[in-house]
Amino acid sequence: MTSDHNVDTPTHPHGHIKSFVRHRSYMSANQKESTERLMPKWAIPYQNALLNPAEVFGRHAPVILEIGFGMGETTLKIAQARPDEDFLCVEVFDAGVGALLRRIDEHEVSNIRILQHDAVEIVRDMIAPDSLNGVHIYFPDPWPKKRHHKRRLIQPPFIKLLSSRLRPGGYIHCATDWEHYAEQMLEVLSAEPLLENTADGFAPRPEYRPVTKFEARGLRLGHGVWDLIFKRL
């Protein structure tokens, strides 16, 4: 979870409130080494120009965007289980980027590329309309304090933008272990006219989303986890 430092006075030149706070985070020696060695190979720099996934991955394949991959454990498992799809994976924190780069290298996975930048700007500037087959947003920062709810990633303007980047039939899959955020997600996603719910309310966890160690521990303690899967009309 991100720090509350300076969260009450967000500023951003492009007019949206960031859902994260950049601060120095600890990186292990392995993560630092992986970042220096592997970023040029597996990462894509932000640019104010549309991305061509076929050029990036060297093939034409369905593209899935993942926003906020943490340390990349789930990302790797999904990409390994779905080798015929390509994954554009967004994370802002250095330690997570270094960890996923190391996983990619160790497991010789070729269908993941990393973008270390603000997700809103990436979707707005680099993702073409009607181009994505899916979007994964798993356990985004819940910003539990009421005064910080405006910082939550799942907000109507962003979901409208994100929906426009999906192909018809493409999906948005969100998951959270905060019930209040789950309810907000359901409200926001249900209100977007380009989307329809694939379930009656919350969805069962699909087999392709593995249960993380953190999630499994929470489930054993009786904590809830809510999945939402909406499709583009």
Tokens 């932000």 sit at which residue? 46
Digits of tens for pLDDT over the chain (233 positions)?
Answer: 333 333 333 444 445 655 444 445 667 777 777 788 899 999 999 999 999 999 999 999 999 999 999 999 999 999 999 999 999 999 999 999 999 999 999 999 999 999 999 999 999 999 999 999 999 999 999 988 999 899 999 999 999 999 999 999 999 999 999 999 999 999 999 999 999 999 999 999 999 999 988 788 888 988 899 999 999 99
Q: Is 215 annotated as a binding residue?
A: yes
Is 118 annotated to bind a ligand? Reply is yes
Contact present, 141 and 203 (Cβ < 8 Å)? no
Question: Is residue 194 packed enough to be buried (19+ CB in 10 Å), middle (13-18) or exposed (0-12)?
Answer: middle
The set of catalytic residues is 141
Predicted local distance difference test score (pLDDT) of residue 32: 75
For residues 180 and 142, give the distance between their C-alpha atoms in angstroms, rounded to a whole number: 9
* pLDDT of amino acid 12: 44
The annotation status of 36 as a binding-site residue, yes or no, is no
**What's the burial of 1, exposed, middle or buried (CB within 10 Å: 0-12/13-18/19+)?**
exposed
Could you tell me which residues are beta bridge partners of residue 172? 135, 230
- Between CA 178 and CA 217 the distance in angstroms is 15
Full-model pTM: 0.88
Position of tokens 């951003």?
12
145 is in an annotated binding site: yes
Are the C-beta atoms of 76 and 107 separated by less than 8 Å? yes
Q: Would you say 84 is a known binding-site residue? A: no
DSSP string, the chain: ----TTTTS---TTS---SS--------HHHHHHHHHHHHHHB----SS---HHHHHTS---EEEEE--TTSHHHHHHHHH-TTSEEEEE---HHHHHHHHHHHHHHT--SEEEE-S-HHHHHHHHSPTT-EEEEEEES-----SGGGGGG-S--HHHHHHHHHHEEEEEEEEEEES-HHHHHHHHHHHHH-TTEEESSSSSBPPPTTSPPPHHHHHHHHTT---EEEEEEE-
